[in-house]
């Protein structure tokens, strides 16, 4: 039952995500992507992954896409009109072999049984125990991205005058 | 699990479609966000039904979100750097950062 609910919510999210790239306005597209992310969070909640669902709502939909919305609303050049010619044909040609390979890979997986929700402490023990190096690498990546963003937006001394 | 993994795969393909079909930088960034969300769904589904356990799936979502945040931060900075110079955000026309 929970797996069925999760699949339905994820499918609805996929529909919203697909709709986003038919829009010409980036604000409309970002709103649809936000709805897709919230539905995905619902799907994760149905799979008893409450922590992942909360993170998706707070960080992905609540922070990243919200900042993108602010940027789209406050910069003048955010126009979504420029779409490439013959986009559907080019995308289908590029993606169909890849899609076929991925579907074959998924079909070859063994089926499993759903599990009960683990305590959040188990996630923490995993992150700061065996996965500590990976978590440190992710934090290093964030630091480098922060420095890179600051460097990209640095103003030249003559611009300040 | 197979249905959820297929939906996660569809999210990846949708993101690739966005990269191919739209040339606006913000649309491409939105597509990348959906790719990250699809990866997160795949990890949760694999954790919920696979041998690794749901705690491993949720921990991977945390790592995926760290990568998504880093990517979004750099992408937004790039977009702002482009628009500050008064250019259009068409990635077909952008080839330099320093003019």
Please tell me the distance from the alpha carbon of residue A27 to that of residue A58, in angstroms, as a whole number: 19
| pLDDT average, residue stretch A16-31 | 88
| pLDDT average, residue stretch A1-23 | 86
CB contact under 8 A, A26 and B24: yes
Considering only residues B96 and A17, tell me which one the structure prediction assigns the higher pLDDT. Answer: A17
Q: A127 vs chain B: nearest CA distance in angstroms?
A: 7
- Which chain B residues are within 8 Å of A60, Cβ to Cβ? 33, 36-37, 40, 65, 68
Convert chain A into a string of H (helix), E (strand) and C (coil). Answer: CHHHHHHHHHHHHHHHHHHHCCCCCHHHHHHHHHHHHHHHHHHHHHCCCHHHHHHHHHHHHHHHHHHHHHHHHHCCCCCCCCECCCHHHHHHHHHHHHHHHHHHHHHCCCCCCCCCCCCHHHHHHHHHCCCHHHHHHHHHHHHHHHHHHHHHCCCCHHHHC
pLDDT tens per residue across span B63-85: 999 999 999 999 999 998 888 87
In this model, does residue A116 exceed pLDDT 80?
A: no
pLDDT tens per residue across span A76-99: 755 555 566 666 677 777 777 777
Q: A38 vs chain B: nearest CA distance in angstroms?
A: 10
A65 shares contact with chain B (CB less than 8 Å):
yes
A157 shares contact with chain B (CB less than 8 Å):
no
Q: Name residues 80-139 of chain A within 8 A of B (Cβ).
A: 80, 82-84, 87-88, 90-91, 94-95, 98-99, 102-103, 106-107, 109, 111-118, 122-123, 126-127, 131, 134-135, 138-139
pLDDT tens per residue across span A102-114: 777 777 666 666 6
Q: B27 vs chain A: nearest CA distance in angstroms?
A: 7
pTM given for the model: 0.85
């Amino acid at each position: 039952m929970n797996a069925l609910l999760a699949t339905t919510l994820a499918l609805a999210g996929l529909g919203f995500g697909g709709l986003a790239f038919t829009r010409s306005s980036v604000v409309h597209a970002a709103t649809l992507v936000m709805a897709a992310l919230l539905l995905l969070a619902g799907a994760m909640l149905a799979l008893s992954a409450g922590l992942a669902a909360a993170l998706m709502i707070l960080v992905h939909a609540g922070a990243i896409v919200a900042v993108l919305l602010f940027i789209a609303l406050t910069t003048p050049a955010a126009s979504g009109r420029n779409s490439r010619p013959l986009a559907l044909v080019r995308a289908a040609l590029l993606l169909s072999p890849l899609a076929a390979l991925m579907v074959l890979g998924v079909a070859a997986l063994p089926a499993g049984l759903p599990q009960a929700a683990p305590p959040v402490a188990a996630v923490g023990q995993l992150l700061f125990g065996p996965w500590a190096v990976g978590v440190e690498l992710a934090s290093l990546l964030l630091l480098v991205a922060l420095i890179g963003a600051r460097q990209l937006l640095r103003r030249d001394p003559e611009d300040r005058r | 699990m197979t249905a959820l993994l297929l939906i996660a795969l569809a999210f990846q393909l949708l993101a690739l479609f966005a990269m191919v079909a739209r040339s606006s930088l913000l649309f491409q960034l939105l597509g990348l966000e959906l790719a990250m969300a699809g990866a997160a769904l795949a990890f949760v589904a694999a954790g919920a039904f696979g041998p690794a356990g749901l705690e491993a799936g949720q921990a991977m979502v945390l790592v995926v979100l760290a990568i998504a945040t880093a990517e979004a931060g750099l992408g937004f900075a790039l977009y702002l750097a482009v628009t500050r110079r008064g250019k259009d955000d068409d990635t077909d026309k952008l080839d330099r950062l320093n003019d």
